[in-house]
Amino acid sequence: MNTALSKNFEHQSAEQKWYAHWLEKKYFHSTPDNRTPYTIVMPPPNVTGVLHMGHCLNNTIQDILIRRARSKGFNACWVPGTDHASIATEAKVVAMLREQGIAKSSLSREDFLSHAWDWKEKYGGIILQQLKKLGCSLDWDRTTFTMDPDYYESVIKVFVDLHKKGVIYRGKRMINWDVKALTALSDEEVIRKETRQKLYHIRYAIEGSDEGIVIATVRPETIMGDTAICVNPNDDRYKHLHGKFAFVPLINRRIPIIADEYVTMDFGTGALKVTPAHDTNDYQLGIKHQLEIVDVLNDDGTMSEAAQIYVGLDRFETRKKIAAELEEKGYLQKTEEYTSEVGFSERTDVVVEPRLSLQWWLNMKDIATPALKAVMEEEIQFFPPKFRNVYRHWMENIKDWCVSRQLWWGHRIPAWYDEQGNVTVAENEEKAIEKYLAEYGKKPERFKQDEDCLDTWFSSWLWPFEVFKGYSKPGNKEIQYYYPTNTLVTAPEIIFFWVARMIMAGEEYMKAIPFKEVYFTGIVRDKLGRKMSKSLGNSPDLLGLIDQYGADASRFGIMISSPAGNDILFDEAALEQGRNFNNKMWNALKLIHMWKERSTDLLVEPPFAVLWFEERLKQVSEEVEMMMTQFRLSEALKTIYSLIWDDFCSWYLEWVKPGYEQPLADNVYDFTVDYFTELMQLLHPFMPFITEEIYQQLENNREIDLCARQSKTATTSANQNILEQGQILKDIITGIRDVRNKQQIKPKETIQLFIQTETPELFNGLYDVIGKQVNASSIQLTENTVPGSFTTVIGKNTFYVVSEKPIDSSHQKAELEKELEYLKGFLNSVDKKLSNERFVQNAKAEIIELEKKKKNDAENKIRIIEESLGRM
C-alpha cells in the first residue's frame, strides 16, 4: 500500500496507468465460453467524428452497463466500430481536395476513392482513440468498419437478395434532393423546421379575357415550371373558369385551369399553381391530369435552361429578383408574412428540393411488419416506453425507402446496364455477365456499373449481426453465442434511420430480433436549453474538460443530470461537483490510511455504526439494482453518491473515528476497509479510474483488480429496525447540533443531555455515539421536564440540553411556537390530501400509508411541543 498519498486525486496519472493495465490484462476482450453473454454493439460514430457531449453521454451509459454486467459475472462484450458516413466523409474529402486545388470532377472514381481511403486511414480512427480517454471498456480486438471487406460483401449480397425478392426496385419518383451534397435523401434525412417566409400573391392573365386569377405561393422562382392552375370544383368563385387557359407571368406559357377537390378553398386565394417537377403533391396532380413536367432547377439549385429566365442563378437569388420583376410589371398583387415547415438536409443543413428522379427504392411494407410486432408485443422493450408510440406511428405509416445516393464513397450499387439501358443486378460484374448471358443468350457489348452508392443506413442496419459476421459467415460460433445482443443505447432522433431498420434486418436475415432492450438518451443542451452546436459556440471541448476535471468527473457530470429519454441541460458545474466527489473519497482514503497506523490488535463488539452501515449498504445495493434494471441510471448514481458522501463520509467515518490519539480496534478498521471496497465496487461502472485507484490503495497485493472483480450479492434483506435506528440517530445529532448553534454554545463547551421518551430501548448502543457527536459529558433518561434547559422535540422524543450558558426563555418559547405553527400547517396539508377522495382512490397503498405516518408523527410532535409550552 502506498502511504504517501497526494493532496488530491491526480486523475491524469491514474487514467493512463489503469487503462493501460486493463488493456494489458485483456479485461475488455471477450470470447465465447460457458458464461451467459451480455452484449452491446456501439452505435458506430462517423469516421468524420470527433468526441462531443452526445458521444460522452451515449458511451458513458454503455460503459456503465457493460462494466456492471462484467461485475455480475456475465461474459461482457462491447463491440466498437465506425461508420463510413457517405455524405459527411465525401464532403470532407472534397473540401480537402479543394484546398489542394483539385476538383472532384477532374478525378476518376478510382482516384477519388484513393484519396478518400487515405483520408479515412489518417483521420477515421480518431474518435475511437478519444473514447479510451473516457475510460470506455470496449473489446478493441473486434473493431469493425462498415466498409471492411466481409462487411462490404454482405451489404452487396443483401441488396441482391432483396432485389431478387422484388423488395428492391428501380423507379422514377419524387425524392428529396440535397443541392449541396448533390444526392437524393430519404424522408428520414430531412429535418422539418418552422421557417418565416413571404407569401406572394401573383396574378395570372386569363386567355381571351381581361380577367385574371390570383395564386399565393412562397416559391415564385418556380412559376416557370407551372403547367396548370388548379381550383376546387365546388368553389363558386372559379366555376366559370373551368377548362379555360391562363398565362404564366414573365414567360407567357399557356397553361390549363383544372378542377380537383385536392385544393383547399379557404387557403390563400383558393387557386393553386401546379408545378409537377417541384412539389410532391403537384406531381400527383400532374400524373392524374396528365400535365407536362418542366424542371426549372439544376442539380446544384441554380435555374436550368428550362426556366428560360435567370438561367444559372441560385434559386434564392432568383426568388428576390423575380419578386422584384413581378412587382415592377404589375403581376405581384401583395406579399404577406407566412410561417410554414420547410425541409432541411440533416447532413448539410440546406433547404432540400422535391425532385423527380430515377432512384433505387426498398418496399418497406412487408419487411416492416415483424419489426412493428416485435416492439408492440414487447419482445423488444423501449426505455422510456413513450417511444413505442412514436415508433408505431411511423411504422404504420411507413413509406418506401430511397436507398440510392449520388456519391462515390460507399457501397456501390451492384447493378450493370447494357447499351439499351437493361439492368442486371448481381454481386459482381462476373456474376452479372453470367446472369445477362442466361437471360439474353449473349454477352453484353458494353456493360456499365451504376455510378451511385447505397444510403449509409443500408449498411448500418446490418450492424448487430454483421459485427459477428452473421451474414457473411452464417451460423458461426460467435453469432450463435452473442446474438441477439442485449441492450442498444442510442438517441431517439435515429429511431427510424437506424433502430427500426436494424430490427427489420435482424428479423429478415437472422430470423431473430437484434437486441432485447433499447435505451433512448436525451439530447445534450446547454444550460439555456439550446441544442449544442458549433455555430452557437456552446459545445464544450470534451477532451479539454477531461484534461481539466478528469474522465471520472466528466462521466459523473453528464450522468448526474441524465434522466432516460429526457434532454440534459449540461452545466460545467456538474463536472466540478464530480471532481469534488473524487476529492471527498480521496480524503476518506487518507483518513483510513492514518487509522491503519493507529489500529490495534484489540477486537471489540461491532459498534452500532458498523451494524448500521452494513444494513445501509444492503439497502442501497437493492435500490441500485432495481434502478439499473429500469435504466434509471442517473437516479442510481445520485443514490450511490449520497451513500458515499453523506452516509459513509459524513456519518459512518465520524461515528467510528477514534478519539484524539486513540487507537482504532482492528476489526472496526477491517469493517471500514470492506465497506469502502464495496462502495468502490458499486460506483466503479460510473467512475472507473478513481474507484480502481482507491480499491488498490485500501489493501496491498489485491488478488484481482476491481475492473474484473465480481460484486457480492446480499443473501438477506436490510434490517429495517437498524436502519430506522440509524435515521433516528442522525436526526438526534442534527437536532442537538442545531440547538447548540442557535444557543451559540461553542463546540468545545460540553453539555448535559436528558431524553424524555416512551421507547428507551431505541437508544441502546447509541449513547456513546450521541455523546461524542454532540459533545455531551453525560446523557440520562428522564420522565420529567428539566428546569434550566433548552428544549427541542426530535421525532416522538423530547430532549433537554443543559449548558452553563444562561437561558433566554422568551427566545426558546418563540422557537417552539414557530415550530408548532409550521407543524400545524404541515398537518393541515396532509389532512387535505387524505380527505381528497380522488387522491385516496388513485394513490398507491404505500403512498397513502406514508401520508398516514406523516400525520401521526406530526400529531405526536404537536402534542409534545404543546406540553412543553404549557410547562414553561
For the segment 9-16, the average pLDDT, to the nearest whole number, is 96
Contact indicator for 414, 427 with CB cutoff of 8 Å: yes
Rounded Cα gap, residues 114 and 124, in angstroms: 14
Element (H, E) at 205: strand 190-206
The beta strand positions in 528-570, using DSSP E, are: 568-569
**What is the per-residue pLDDT for 579?**
97
| Residue 199 grid coordinates | 407569401
**What is the per-residue pLDDT for 776?**
94
Question: Which residue from 189, 179, 96 is spatially nearest to 409, judged by alpha carbons?
Answer: 96
Contact indicator for 215, 204 with CB cutoff of 8 Å: yes
pLDDT digits (tens, 9 = 90+) for 245-261: 999 999 999 999 999 99
For residue 702, is pLDDT > 90?
no
More confident residue, 375 or 714: 375
Rounded Cα gap, residues 825 and 858, in angstroms: 10
**What is the per-residue pLDDT for 872?**
63
For the chain, helix (H) and strand (E) counts, in that order, are 28, 31
Distances (CA, A) of 194 to 185, 191, 494: 20, 10, 20
pLDDT digits (tens, 9 = 90+) for 21-50: 999 999 999 999 999 999 999 999 999 888
Helices (H), 32-85: 53-71
For residue 84, is pLDDT > 70?
yes
Rounded Cα gap, residues 478 and 467, in angstroms: 10
Q: Cβ neighbours of residue 435 under 8 Å, at least 6 residues apart?
A: 424, 426
For the segment 333-356, the average pLDDT, to the nearest whole number, is 91
pLDDT digits (tens, 9 = 90+) for 398-429: 999 999 999 999 999 999 999 999 999 999 99
Chain-centre distance for alpha carbon 351 = 27
CA dihedral 792, 797, 800, 801 (to 10 degrees): -70
**What is the per-residue pLDDT for 564?**
63
Rounded Cα gap, residues 254 and 256, in angstroms: 7
Among 386-400, 618-632, 804-818, 819-833, the least confident range: 804-818
For the segment 481-508, the average pLDDT, to the nearest whole number, is 95
Pairing of strands 228-231, 183-185: unpaired
**What is the per-residue pLDDT for 154?**
98
Cis peptide before 484 (omega within 30 of 0): yes
For the segment 521-537, the average pLDDT, to the nearest whole number, is 81
Rg value, the chain, Cα: 36
Place of cell 473516457: 134
- Report which residue type is found at 379: E
Cis peptide before 384 (omega within 30 of 0): yes
Rounded Cα gap, residues 79 and 66, in angstroms: 11
Neighbours of 257 (CB within 10 A): 21
For the segment 827-855, the average pLDDT, to the nearest whole number, is 85
For the segment 165-170, the average pLDDT, to the nearest whole number, is 96
For the segment 611-638, the average pLDDT, to the nearest whole number, is 95
| Residue 650 grid coordinates | 459524513
Rounded Cα gap, residues 327 and 281, in angstroms: 28
pLDDT digits (tens, 9 = 90+) for 291-328: 999 999 999 999 999 999 999 999 999 999 999 999 99
Confidence band, pLDDT 50/70/90 cuts, at residue 1: very low
**What is the per-residue pLDDT for 334?**
94
For the segment 101-111, the average pLDDT, to the nearest whole number, is 94
Rounded Cα gap, residues 329 and 333, in angstroms: 11
Pairing of strands 797-802, 485-490: unpaired
For the segment 167-196, the average pLDDT, to the nearest whole number, is 90
The beta strand positions in 52-189, using DSSP E, are: 75-79, 81-82, 144-145, 168-178, 183-185
More confident residue, 535 or 134: 134
Q: Cβ neighbours of residue 254 under 8 Å, at least 6 residues apart?
A: 207, 245, 246, 247
The beta strand positions in 654-750, using DSSP E, are: 664-665
**What is the per-residue pLDDT for 847?**
84
Among 22-26, 619-623, 710-714, the least confident range: 710-714
Rounded Cα gap, residues 411 and 231, in angstroms: 46
Chain-centre distance for alpha carbon 63 = 14
More confident residue, 812 or 428: 428
Question: Which residue from 730, 819, 583, 851 is spatially nearest to 8, judged by alpha carbons?
Answer: 583
Q: Cβ neighbours of residue 754 under 8 Å, at least 6 residues apart?
A: 779, 780, 781, 782, 786, 789, 799, 800, 802
For the segment 621-647, the average pLDDT, to the nearest whole number, is 96
**What is the per-residue pLDDT for 539?**
81
In degrees rounded to 5, what are phi and psi of residue 483? -110, 140
Is 223 exposed, middle or buried, given 0-12, 13-18 or 19+ CB atoms closer than 10 A?
Answer: buried
For residue 496, is pLDDT > 50?
yes
Rounded Cα gap, residues 142 and 123, in angstroms: 19
For the whole model, what pTM was predicted? Answer: 0.85
CA dihedral 236, 240, 244, 247 (to 10 degrees): -70
More confident residue, 266 or 709: 709
Element (H, E) at 524: strand 524-525
Rounded Cα gap, residues 541 and 374, in angstroms: 40
Distances (CA, A) of 37 to 73, 515, 672, 844: 9, 13, 34, 37
| Residue 872 grid coordinates | 414553561
Return mean pLDDT, the chain.
92
- Say what percent of the chain tops pLDDT 70: 98
Contact indicator for 48, 122 with CB cutoff of 8 Å: no
For the segment 504-531, the average pLDDT, to the nearest whole number, is 92
Rounded Cα gap, residues 323 and 200, in angstroms: 8
**What is the per-residue pLDDT for 463?**
98
For residue 157, is pLDDT > 70?
yes
**What is the per-residue pLDDT for 610?**
96
Confidence band, pLDDT 50/70/90 cuts, at residue 807: low
**What is the per-residue pLDDT for 683?**
98
Distances (CA, A) of 854 to 354, 422, 479, 858: 63, 81, 55, 6
